[in-house]
Chains A and B, each alone.
Chain A
Amino acid sequence: MSQQVNTRVEDTSPVVGSSLWQDAWQRLKKNKLAMLGVVILLIIILVSTFGPLLSSYSYDQINLDRNSEPPSWEHWFGTDQLGRDILVRTLVGGRISLMVGIIATAVSFVIGVTYGAISGYFGGYIDELMMRIVDIIYSLPYLFLVIVLLAFFTKSIFMLFFILGGVSWLTMARIVRGQVLSIKNQEFIEAARAVGVETPMIIFRHVIPNTLGPVIVYTTLTIPSAMLSEAFLSFLGLGVQPPLASWGTMVNDGVEAIAVYPWQLIFPGLLMAVTLFSLNFLGDGLRDALDPQMRKD
């Protein structure tokens, strides 16, 4: 630990900061599982984005004569209760679920990490105030927020993103703050302070990179829970409305038909699971790649 700490404190030129990410990328490239995750994720993103354009069905094309058919050459994933093609619906649904995942990640990364790091680093009354604000936001009854939003604004997918984004950074902020409390009194931070590094620089270049392990792990955990929250909010009427679907709402509907038409649950569920597993491997790879203690090798 002490070795890399010293090098980082001595060179405060920008070169060191950027090399953190370059080093990480070099190490990530060597991690086969993580790279497999990246490739699968890219494929899923591409197929969800462009796949529906290539299909001869559309996600809302109802054909009641052919409802709940098992997978066949015409409908690879089978059809749902209204005879809609499940493959196209799953792909279109993937766009929404991926979007939800990206938004939740972005918000919890940008707001949650910065907020938590500032709160933990400054400590004292600033910490007190910032964490109590988090408590207040956390305590509000979201069900009512949803009802009120639905009453005053037109239903839209942006409302869903707004709510999910608003909640997703709170626990992240608390976790980062907890880490920072223990990091900020370590020698290398003291050393950085002693040589006169400015506070924002200390926070962003020295403190935050050392919290990235738990941050990345928690992010890979945020994505599935955001996708499931989306299904719940859509169920309440906020967010994805029929005929549009997301993986979450399709799984939700599929559970009811599990005994009779299992493919209505299996395919969207499977695609969601593959995405989450890939994210998970990528997350672990990133965690290892960014681990400051592993930088020696």
Chain B
Amino acid sequence: MLKLIIRRLLGMIPVLFIIITLTFFLIRLAPGNPFANDKAFPEEVIQALNKQYGLDKPLHIQYFNYITELAKGNLGPSTRYAGKTVNEMIAEHLPTSLALGLIAYGFALILGVSIGIISSLRQNSSLDYLSMAIAMFGISIPSFVLGPLLVIVFSLTLFWLPPARWGEPKHLILPALTLSAIYIAYIARLTRSGMLEVLRADYIRTARAKGLTESVVVLRHALRGGIIPVVSFTGPALTFLLAGTIVVEKIFVIPGLGRIFIEAANSRDYFVVMGLTLFVSILLVIMNLLVDIVIGLLDPRISYK
């Protein structure tokens, strides 16, 4: 296990290097530059600004400089918000995205897995069909429809929750629900199919034959194997929830990382885009490592030799 972790963490370095390189040149290929939108600036000012941020140098020098700074842990300055560094911006907005993403995924896991288990135990019953129909609804309804709908019901009609504010824990509920809807559905369906596969396996029959109670059989024996597709799905899903919640952030006016990314992309704030992409890829690689560890713990037959 320790060997796996060390190997993967070492393997992270070339992966991140490739991602940085590809992203660096990809965003420079895009038309526009950080100061093109500010038409009020005279040419000399733009040149001075480019010089200040080192954007006047040839591209390969800029790339080399960026990598050098990165090695020191410095993600560079923001060209849009003068005086702010990318490190500061991520540190400032990460807690928000983290809270939102984790709560949303928590909702999704608890509800999704429970619905999936119940459906699989009552396969082809009306309860099963109903749950799966609701799940399909959750997948098909886009968050820009669901978000406003939840606000109308819970904030403007029932007055239970505030429509769009940020700061207190209760402000998290509606955005987290909106975000989690699609994941509840994914997880419910993946759990159901995973459980159906496992419930007929020999070792489950053995467990039943030993006289274990149904709940022990289902929760301790079947769920271990049945939940593997959900665990595989968690790596990309959680990464996305922590970083890519643009639509929901916009609906509920939440100061998270997604909004920063879109702003930075639109204003060609190169260092911010680079920094966030790098951050997301580190997150993804670590999530996938955790996923592999969890899968290995759940299923003793798996070995990563």
| Residues 147-160 of chain B, each 1 if its beta carbon lies under 8 Å from chain A, else 0 | 01000000000000
- Kindly state the separation between the CA atoms of A145 and B19 in the bound complex, as whole angstroms: 13
- Kindly state the separation between the CA atoms of A293 and B22 in the bound complex, as whole angstroms: 45
- Kindly state the separation between the CA atoms of A136 and B291 in the bound complex, as whole angstroms: 17
Interface positions, chain B 169-207, Cβ under 8 Å from A, are 182, 185-186, 189-190, 192-194, 196-197, 200-202
How many whole Å from B173's CB to the nearest CB in chain A? 22
Minimal Cβ-Cβ distance residue in A for B20? A139
Interface positions, chain A 191-217, Cβ under 8 Å from B, are 213-214, 216-217
Q: Are A136 and B15 within 8 A (Cβ)?
A: yes
How many whole Å from A35's CB to the nearest CB in chain B? 15
- Kindly state the separation between the CA atoms of A294 and B144 in the bound complex, as whole angstroms: 41
- Counting CB contacts under 8 A, is A108 at the interface? no
Q: Give the interface SS of chain B, mostly helix, strand, loop or mixed.
A: helix
How many whole Å from B180's CB to the nearest CB in chain A? 15
Number of A-B contacts defined by CB within 8 Å: 159
- Kindly state the separation between the CA atoms of A161 and B26 in the bound complex, as whole angstroms: 20
Q: For A170, list chain B residues within 8 Å (CB).
A: 236
How many whole Å from B133's CB to the nearest CB in chain A? 7
| Residues 25-44 of chain B, each 1 if its beta carbon lies under 8 Å from chain A, else 0 | 01101110000000000000
Q: Are A182 and B302 within 8 A (Cβ)?
A: yes
Q: Are A140 and B194 within 8 A (Cβ)?
A: no
Q: For B11, list chain A residues within 8 Å (CB).
A: 128, 132
Q: Are B140 and A179 within 8 A (Cβ)?
A: no
Contact of A123 (CB < 8 Å), options: B194, B273, B305:
B305
Contact of B284 (CB < 8 Å), options: A139, A143, A213, A273:
A139
Number of interface residues, chain A, beta carbon within 8 A: 56
| Residues 264-283 of chain B, each 1 if its beta carbon lies under 8 Å from chain A, else 0 | 01000000010001001100
- Counting CB contacts under 8 A, is B136 at the interface? yes
- Kindly state the separation between the CA atoms of A2 and B201 in the bound complex, as whole angstroms: 9
Q: Are B228 and A178 within 8 A (Cβ)?
A: yes
Interface positions, chain B 276-305, Cβ under 8 Å from A, are 277, 280-281, 284-285, 288, 291, 295, 299, 301-305
How many whole Å from A273's CB to the nearest CB in chain B? 6
Q: Are B27 and A141 within 8 A (Cβ)?
A: yes
Contact of A277 (CB < 8 Å), options: B136, B236, B281, B303:
B136
Q: For B201, list chain A residues within 8 Å (CB).
A: 1, 293
- Counting CB contacts under 8 A, is B225 at the interface? yes
- Kindly state the separation between the CA atoms of A144 and B266 in the bound complex, as whole angstroms: 10
Q: Are B19 and A140 within 8 A (Cβ)?
A: yes
- Counting CB contacts under 8 A, is A251 at the interface? yes
Task: Report if A217-B15 is in contact (Cβ < 8 Å); known contacts: A123-B304, A284-B132.
Answer: no
Contact of B133 (CB < 8 Å), options: A136, A218, A277:
A277
Q: Are A144 and B30 within 8 A (Cβ)?
A: yes
- Kindly state the separation between the CA atoms of A152 and B190 in the bound complex, as whole angstroms: 39
- Kindly state the separation between the CA atoms of A144 and B202 in the bound complex, as whole angstroms: 50
- Counting CB contacts under 8 A, is B101 at the interface? no
Q: Are A139 and B190 within 8 A (Cβ)?
A: no
| Residues 211-249 of chain A, each 1 if its beta carbon lies under 8 Å from chain B, else 0 | 001101110110011001001000000000000000000
Minimal Cβ-Cβ distance residue in A for B301? A185
Task: Report if A218-B132 is in contact (Cβ < 8 Å); known contacts: A132-B15, A224-B139.
Answer: no
- Kindly state the separation between the CA atoms of A228 and B261 in the bound complex, as whole angstroms: 21
Instruction: Count chain B CB atoms within 10 A of each CB in A123, A185, A252, A284 and give the residue with the most.
Output: A284
Given A132-B14, A287-B193, 11 additional A-B pairs, CB 8 A: A132-B15, A139-B23, A139-B281, A141-B26, A145-B26, A174-B235, A174-B288, A181-B299, A185-B301, A218-B233, A293-B197
